[in-house]
């Protein structure tokens, strides 16, 4: 029998998967995600699952090496945000499947990692505050469901009680899936849904670790419980972590409903399971999806998170995603599709100071949430102990070679430290190589009594507080240099540590967290990423039983709350804000919600100074913070918003040189780009304006015209007037310069004419200048960042 007719050529498939096919031998299997064009289903099949099954079975006839065991079964079947399935295949089978009629793409299933409460008060959402219009208008999000794609949830925590909550929203169609140590009784009117997804993970790993992974929605990692309670936890009094950060712990939208989708396990999160989580969440009826998971940036059509998010957006679901923790490196931001709201991290006005006092009297302030009975912890027992740099204590280091170093011992890797040199000393360890808290464990095993974890380039001056197992603290890059200089210039360096309590009212605040991933987006220069920043440093939130706060096996401490940092923590802040905005404005689209957050964001701190970058404490840039720090009380009444439809995104993809097939892989729609040359990627109706000036043959100032359309969401008629802060080397004019709106929902458009002088750039370096465009009616200020990028050659980044 002849093989089925083929519509795709093998080389086309290889362009996206060559790196995998080269490394897999003929018989090895891995999981793949297969996108299918369902409207091509032959009529002989009663449903698409029958068609999918027949398609998989047909592979057996053309591959005699393929067995007929359970590997033939689907891992997942996707029906809502994505049409298709996932399954285990050999590389040869995957290549063959890509050529079948109706198969749009065959993507390797990748492993991703998580981006690992005073913050509501800091953002003006304290229910006792006079600034609580958003909380009041939305009833704290009581009719909104947040789907949290993460490591599950620990339902017994008081953050998830349902006392005083009304009936579950009538639109909800989800369920509480029974699993190991998880029953339907674990759900209530707060946690209204819980599911778990294992197929992709098991296909990759072969099995689960029974001591660390539970086959249910129950959280055994902590991350999911922390993010869910950050977004929507109920108020819990007298909360703290080991006495630090005492107060009331409450989520951003305390009455919003939570649906937990456990897609991540001990060793990570598989794309196929994440996509299944998206599919079920939208089918169940969530309004918001919060996902603090990421990977490397890839084109949208090869990114299952981008693909799942597009399908969710089409159904009216707002997607909040973490920007990543690879800062301060430029172009490190992830989750960059324009239909996703990408969230970077900032500090709040709370710190946990701890001091290292050197033998010469120099006091260096760092950060720690160490709590212990060691004599070093007693400030009255001011005991100086020998101080050594890990790089000078390498196993096998020659006696007397004090300035020799190795990366392993400098970063205090396991078994790298010479016990004779370390015993009884405080050890300075460079960051990197191992988790920060594990360095203390390694120092203790080598006989050390204290640990100092020092930032190195390019980490800069940013600090997070860690719950060290032995007396320990973190210090900045400049402080680390000072400490190493002291050690290397003294024959008998000594130090002691002192630990303080929680400090609030810290200034300046907020600042951009040094670890927060930065723009510009590697996928499109015309879409500003990250979109906004939100609190993500030293955030107190709920934590499961049985999970150590450091997640180290040797850590026997247990606590109801934990302090964690990362864009994983900033993402659920915006998820909660989106729930409040959806509650206050039920008919707002996902783009309108994001617009409200972006155009009302602030770029000055509480003292009226420009927001700073924690890395250097220089002024932060738009590439660091996007439109700025979210401002909930202004976002509830933004005046004007920039709406975007699914068709607008299609036009953007066409203008960005995505092929018709690429677009089908993302959108389930026809990939035809009608009037392709009439669309420009910078004309996507985004709340920020980003354009590129290509200077290869530029002899005179370049002119770019940008069109935007705003929707009036105010209750009364209003007139808005424009003002512009020009980027350096640019002259901007706006037509018309004023707009008069007579009724709510009215739309008007304006044109921005950008005239840019020529700038000297190289093929490796571009120049970025930033200004802003603001529409104001005297009360509201609708602000858009205005970004101009000079590049040497013409290329639309996709």
Q: Which residues are part of the catalytic machinery?
A: 150, 223, 568
Is the separation of the CB atoms in 170 and 190 below 8 Å? no
Is the separation of the CB atoms in 13 and 95 below 8 Å? yes
Task: Extract the tokens encoding 131.
Answer: 């600034």
Is the separation of the CB atoms in 310 and 339 below 8 Å? yes
How many Cα atoms occupy the beta-carbon half-sphere of 225 within 13 Å?
28
Query: What is the spatial distance between Cα 611 and Cα 785, in angstroms, rounded to a whole number?
Result: 15
Distant-in-sequence, close-in-space partners of 628: CB < 8 Å, separation ≥ 6: 532, 533, 598, 601, 602, 603, 611
Q: Which residues partner with 351 through β-bridges?
A: 503
Cβ burial, residue 2 (10 Å; 0-12/13-18/19+): exposed
Query: What is the spatial distance between Cα 747 and Cα 495, in angstroms, rounded to a whole number?
Result: 65
Long-range contacts of 751-754 (CB under 8 A, 24+ apart): 751/705, 751/706, 751/707, 752/689, 752/705, 752/706, 752/707, 752/708, 752/786, 753/703, 753/704, 753/705, 754/691, 754/703, 754/704, 754/705, 754/706, 754/730, 754/786, 754/788
Q: What helix, strand, coil percent values describe the chain, rounded to 5?
A: 25, 30, 45
Query: What is the spatial distance between Cα 454 and Cα 480, in angstroms, rounded to a whole number?
Result: 5
Tell me how crowded residue 590 is: count the other CB atoms within 10 A of its CB. Answer: 27
Closest by CA position to 739, among listed 714, 722, 715: 722
Is the separation of the CB atoms in 752 and 729 below 8 Å? no
Coil, strand, or helix at residue 358?
strand
Question: E strands, 638-701, where?
Answer: 640-641, 689-694
Tell me how crowded residue 610 is: count the other CB atoms within 10 A of its CB. Answer: 13
Residue with tokens 């180290």: 552
Query: What is the spatial distance between Cα 443 and Cα 650, in angstroms, rounded to a whole number?
Result: 55
Coil, strand, or helix at residue 136?
helix
Exposure b/e, 483-522, CB count within 10 A at least 16 = b: bbebbeeeeebbbbbbbeebeeeeebbbbbbbbbbbbbbb
Ramachandran angles phi, psi of 70, nearest 5°: -65, -15
Closest by CA position to 283, among listed 318, 319, 321, 317: 317
Is the separation of the CB atoms in 384 and 493 below 8 Å? no
Query: What is the spatial distance between Cα 287 and Cα 319, in angstroms, rounded to a whole number?
Result: 9
Long-range contacts of 767-770 (CB under 8 A, 24+ apart): 768/520, 768/621, 768/623, 769/727, 769/728, 769/729, 769/730, 770/621, 770/622, 770/727
Q: Which residues partner with 363 through β-bridges?
A: 357
Q: What does DSSP assign to residue 791?
A: E
Q: Which residues partner with 253 through β-bridges?
A: none
Residue with tokens 């939100």: 534
């Amino acid at each position: 029998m002849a093989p089925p007719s083929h519509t795709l050529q093998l080389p086309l498939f290889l362009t996206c998967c060559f790196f995998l096919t080269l490394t897999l031998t003929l018989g090895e299997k891995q999981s793949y995600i297969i996108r299918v064009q369902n409207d091509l289903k032959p009529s002989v099949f009663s449903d698409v699952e029958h068609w999918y099954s027949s398609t998989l079975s047909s592979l057996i006839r053309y591959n005699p090496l393929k067995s007929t065991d359970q590997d033939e079964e689907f891992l997942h079947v996707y029906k809502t945000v994505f049409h298709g399935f996932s399954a285990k295949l050999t590389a040869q089978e995957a290549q063959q499947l890509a050529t079948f009629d109706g198969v749009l793409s065959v993507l390797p299933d990748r492993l991703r990692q998580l981006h690992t409460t005073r913050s509501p008060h800091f953002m003006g959402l304290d229910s006792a505050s006079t600034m609580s219009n958003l909380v009041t208008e939305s009833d704290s999000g009581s009719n909104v469901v947040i789907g949290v794609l993460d490591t599950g949830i620990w339902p017994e925590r008081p953050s998830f009680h349902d006392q005083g909550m009304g009936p579950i929203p009538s639109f909800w169609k989800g369920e509480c899936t029974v699993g190991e140590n998880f029953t339907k009784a674990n759900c209530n009117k707060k946690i209204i849904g819980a599911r778990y997804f294992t197929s992709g993970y098991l296909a990759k790993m072969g099995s689960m670790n029974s001591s660390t992974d539970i086959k249910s929605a129950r959280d055994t990692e902590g991350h999911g419980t922390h993010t869910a309670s950050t977004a929507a936890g109920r108020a819990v009094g007298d909360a703290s972590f080991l006495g630090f950060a005492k107060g009331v712990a409450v989520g951003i939208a305390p009455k919003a409903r939570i649906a937990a989708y456990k897609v991540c396990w001990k060793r990570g999160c598989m794309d196929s399971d994440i996509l299944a989580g998206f599919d079920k969440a939208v089918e169940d009826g969530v309004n918001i999806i919060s996902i603090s998971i990421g990977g490397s940036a890839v084109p949208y059509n090869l990114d299952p998170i981008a693909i799942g998010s597009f399908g969710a957006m089409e159904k009216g679901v707002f997607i909040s995603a973490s920007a990543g923790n690879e800062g301060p490196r430029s172009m490190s931001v992830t989750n960059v599709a324009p239909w996703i709201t990408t969230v970077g991290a900032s500090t709040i006005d709370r710190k946990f100071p701890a001091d290292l006092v050197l033998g010469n009297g120099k006091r260096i302030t760092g950060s720690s949430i160490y709590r212990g009975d060691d004599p070093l912890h007693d400030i009255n027992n001011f005991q100086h102990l020998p101080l050594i740099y890990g790089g000078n204590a390498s196993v096998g280091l020659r006696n007397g070679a004090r300035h020799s170093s190795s990366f392993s011992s400098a970063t205090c890797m396991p078994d790298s430290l010479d016990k004779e040199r370390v015993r009884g000393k405080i050890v300075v360890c460079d960051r990197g190589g191992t988790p920060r808290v594990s360095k203390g464990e390694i120092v203790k095993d080598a006989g050390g009594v204290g640990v100092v974890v020092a930032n190195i380039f390019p980490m800069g001056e940013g600090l997070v507080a860690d719950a060290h197992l032995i007396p320990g603290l973190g210090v900045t890059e400049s402080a680390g240099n000072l400490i190493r200089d002291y050690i290397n210039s003294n024959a008998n360096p000594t130090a002691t540590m002192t630990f303080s309590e929680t400090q609030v009212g810290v200034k300046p605040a907020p600042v951009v967290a040094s670890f927060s991933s930065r723009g510009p987006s590697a996928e499109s220069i015309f879409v500003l990423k990250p979109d906004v920043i939100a609190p993500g440093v030293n955030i107190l939130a709920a934590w499961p039983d049985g999970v150590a706060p450091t997640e180290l096996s040797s850590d026997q401490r247990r606590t109801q709350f934990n302090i964690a940092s990362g864009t994983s923590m900033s993402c659920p802040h915006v998820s909660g804000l989106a729930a409040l905005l959806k509650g206050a404005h039920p008919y707002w689209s996902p783009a309108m919600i994001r617009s409200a957050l972006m155009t009302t964001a602030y770029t000055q701190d509480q003292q009226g100074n420009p927001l700073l970058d924690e890395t250097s404490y220089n002024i932060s840039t738009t590439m660091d913070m996007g439109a700025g720090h979210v401002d909930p009380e202004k976002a509830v009444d933004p005046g004007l918003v920039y709406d975007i439809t699914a068709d607008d995104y299609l036009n953007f993809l066409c203008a960005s040189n995505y092929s018709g097939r690429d677009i089908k892989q993302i959108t389930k729609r026809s990939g035809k780009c009608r009037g392709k040359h009439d669309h420009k990627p910078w004309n996507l109706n985004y709340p920020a304006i980003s354009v590129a000036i290509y200077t290869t043959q530029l002899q005179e100032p370049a002119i770019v015209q940008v069109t935007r359309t705003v929707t009036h969401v105010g209750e009364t008629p209003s007139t808005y007037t424009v003002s512009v802060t020009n980027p350096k080397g640019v002259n901007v004019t706006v037509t018309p310069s004023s707009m008069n709106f007579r009724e709510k929902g009215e739309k008007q458009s304006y044109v921005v004419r950008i005239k840019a002088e020529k700038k000297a750039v190289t093929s490796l370096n571009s120049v970025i200048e930033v200004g802003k465009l603001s529409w104001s009616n005297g009360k509201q200020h609708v602000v858009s960042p205005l970004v101009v990028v000079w590049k040497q050659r013409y290329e639309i980044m996709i």
